């Protein structure tokens, strides 16, 4: 609860200081940066839940908890569901580490398939958080490798088919948030030894974390989004730079979907946001697939797609990059991945359209 109180206070102060800082920084737009900061603070509070989602005794059926999440409305529901998964994993970990089939509960019928992506992302956070908190301050490679092995095992044994990637991606999110780049390199070495199929997911999660990291709330002086420079500096390979950019763009898109002026400002500063990189477009597509799968009735997806910037140049970029990515996500990628039970593929960077063609036998 202490962390949640700090988070609430941070959410009150950060937007004001962001506005104040950017008011004296040339080439920035204080109102846009303040809006973006407030959006991030709101999302972080939803995931953490100032009141907690799962009751301490675990007596409330999960379906009832999910019903309350969706009653919040389609936009906040996504984040609340992720918070439920996190709280659920943390609660189960208090009873022991031998957990299997956590999300195979019989009352989670097909009508709750829409919650599965973010529930899996949430349990991944809960598992990782539990074990990172128990590592010594200067953990050895062997200690980190043991943690990695345990988390991978928990994510595999508690994920439904086609959802493991959503859970293990949170290893990158939590590792980078709770530790530092050097620790992420240790985790990378652990994955090389224990689960090479999870490396892409891990670095995608690290990229997602960079967008939410408190050190990146204040815009940079060199470029508006510090997270992009962090990703370039921290990624172990050029491919992982695109992976981390995809994670950052994923978060940037879904967090600000209800306030399209934030994305509009980014497109007006196209080069500063690396908008031409394939990782940026992949991040938009992946985030929309995830959003559409979780809240298919969210009208904000359509409004976001149809947003029309006043500047003709930015308007054309919006149509080709943003609207095109939304159409691809909803009409091409989502139906195929859902059909083949591969929705977790959007939690790693790849040529997602090539994967769709391959799954459909057209590649």
- Residues 102-139 have pLDDT tens digits of 998 878 889 999 999 999 999 999 999 999 999 999 99
Burial 323-332 (b: 16+ CB within 10 A, else e): bebbebbbeb
Residue with tokens 């293990």: 168
Task: Report pLDDT for 1.
Answer: 39
DSSP SS3 for 266: helix
Whether the pLDDT of residue 48 is over 80: the answer is no
Task: Report pLDDT for 8.
Answer: 72
**What is the band of 195 on the pLDDT scale with cuts at 50, 70, 90?**
very high
**What is the band of 223 on the pLDDT scale with cuts at 50, 70, 90?**
confident
Largest distance between two CA atoms of the chain: 58
Among 104-108, 187-191, 321-325, whose mean pLDDT is lowest?
104-108
- Residues 255-308 have pLDDT tens digits of 999 999 999 999 999 999 999 999 999 999 999 999 999 999 999 999 999 999
32-54 mean pLDDT: 81
Distance of CA 258 to the CA centre of its chain: 16
- DSSP alpha helices (H): ranges in the chain? 2-23, 30-48, 62-71, 74-93, 116-132, 141-157, 164-178, 181-194, 199-212, 226-234, 238-255, 261-268, 278-294, 300-306, 312-317, 324-327, 334-339, 352-359
Task: Report pLDDT for 50.
Answer: 46
Task: Report pLDDT for 246.
Answer: 98
End-to-end distance of the chain based on CA atoms, in angstroms? 51
Whether the pLDDT of residue 60 is over 50: the answer is yes
203-216 mean pLDDT: 95
Closest of 67, 74, 73 to residue 298, by C-alpha = 74
For residues 152 and 124, give the distance between their C-alpha atoms in angstroms, rounded to a whole number: 9
Among 7-11, 152-156, 262-266, 275-279, whose mean pLDDT is lowest?
7-11
Show me where the domains of the chain are located: 228-363
- Residues 92-108 have pLDDT tens digits of 998 877 899 999 887 88
Task: Report pLDDT for 44.
Answer: 84
Distance of CA 155 to the CA centre of its chain: 17
């Amino acid at each position: 609860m202490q962390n949640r109180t700090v988070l609430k206070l941070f959410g009150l102060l950060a937007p004001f200081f962001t506005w104040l800082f950017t008011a004296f920084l040339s080439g920035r737009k204080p109102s846009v940066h303040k809006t973006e900061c407030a959006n991030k603070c709101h999302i972080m509070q939803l995931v953490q839940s100032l009141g907690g989602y799962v009751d301490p005794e675990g007596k409330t059926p999960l379906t009832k908890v999910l019903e309350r999440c969706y009653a919040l409305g389609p936009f906040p529901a996504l984040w609340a569901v992720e918070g439920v998964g996190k709280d659920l994993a943390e609660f189960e970990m208090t009873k022991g580490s031998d957990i299997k089939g956590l999300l195979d509960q019989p009352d989670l019928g097909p009508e709750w398939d829409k919650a599965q992506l973010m529930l899996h992302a949430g349990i991944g956070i809960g598992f990782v958080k539990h074990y990172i908190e128990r590592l010594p301050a200067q953990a050895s490679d062997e200690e980190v490798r043991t943690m990695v092995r345990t988390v991978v095992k928990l994510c595999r044994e508690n994920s439904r088919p086609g959802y493991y990637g959503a859970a293990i991606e949170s290893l990158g999110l939590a590792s980078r948030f709770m530790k530092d780049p050097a620790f992420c390199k240790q985790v990378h070495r652990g994955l090389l030894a224990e689960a090479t199929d999870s490396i892409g997911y891990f670095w995608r999660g690290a990229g997602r974390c960079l967008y939410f990291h408190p050190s990146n709330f204040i815009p940079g002086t060199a470029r508006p989004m510090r997270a992009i420079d962090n990703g370039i500096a921290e990624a172990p390979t050029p491919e992982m730079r695109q992976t981390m950019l995809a994670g950052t763009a994923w978060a940037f898109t879904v967090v600000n979907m209800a306030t399209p002026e934030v994305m509009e400002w980014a497109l007006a500063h196209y080069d500063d946001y690396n908008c031409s990189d394939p990782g940026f477009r992949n991040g938009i597509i992946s985030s929309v697939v995830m959003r559409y799968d979780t809240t298919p009735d969210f009208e904000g997806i359509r409004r976001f797609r149809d947003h029309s910037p006043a500047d003709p140049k930015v308007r054309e970029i919006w149509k080709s990059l943003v609207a095109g990515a939304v159409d691809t996500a909803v009409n091409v990628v989502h139906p195929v991945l859902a059909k083949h039970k591969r929705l977790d593929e959007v939690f790693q960077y790849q040529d997602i359209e090539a994967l769709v063609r391959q799954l459909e036998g057209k590649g």
